[in-house]
């Protein structure tokens, strides 16, 4: 995949957990609640219909406020790749103000861990910059660390 530095943000990290376990964490609502937003924020609710066009809805509690995020999966490659967006909700209903499309990729690192890549694609350079300014790297990096810690607790 060719990234556009004007509209895309991405990072890769090696996580000390097998790809299959990380996939399970990313595709199970109960697991999502343990890592998907940086603490002290929390995931209050998660609904997953793991198929192209299926819902990926989350509700966050951030500083005491509920944030409802509705989205759909655009691509699901079992054990390897999830692509979801808030540009649509279930039934392909367009969102009034979409923020991004996320691409999460999992690749065996050859040592029992996983090469984990998180990419956020935005519709404009301004949206990309806004996401970077509010903390894409710190936020998604924290999520990756929380995912690793949580996955290790499941072993």
DSSP code of residue 113: -
For 29-85, what is each residue's pLDDT tens digit?
A: 999 999 999 999 999 999 999 999 999 999 999 999 999 999 999 999 999 999 999
Domain covering 8-154: architecture: 2-Layer Sandwich (3.30)
pTM score, whole prediction: 0.95
CB 155 within 8 A of CB 21: yes
What ranges do the domains of the chain cover?
Answer: 8-154
Q: How far is CA 96 from CA 87, 99, 109, in A?
A: 8, 10, 39
Angle (nearest 5°) at CA 134 between 129 and 139? 115
pLDDT of 32: 98
Mean pLDDT, rounded, for 76-98: 96
């Amino acid at each position: 995949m060719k990234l556009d530095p004007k509209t895309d943000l991405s990072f890769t990290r090696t996580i000390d957990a097998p790809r299959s376990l990380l996939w399970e964490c990313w595709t199970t609502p109960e697991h999502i609640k343990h890592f998907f937003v940086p603490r002290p924020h929390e995931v209050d609710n998660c609904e997953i219909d793991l198929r192209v066009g299926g819902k990926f809805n989350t509700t966050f509690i951030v500083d005491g406020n509920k944030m409802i995020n509705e989205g759909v999966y655009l691509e699901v490659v079992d054990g390897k790749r999830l692509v979801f967006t808030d540009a649509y909700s279930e039934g392909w209903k367009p969102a009034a103000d979409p923020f991004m499309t996320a691409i999460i990729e999992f690749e065996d690192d050859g040592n029992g861990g996983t090469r984990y890549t998180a990419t956020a694609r935005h519709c404009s350079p301004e949206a990309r910059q806004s996401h970077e300014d509010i903390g894409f790297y710190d936020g998604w990096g924290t999520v990756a660390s929380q995912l690793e810690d949580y996955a290790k607790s499941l072993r």
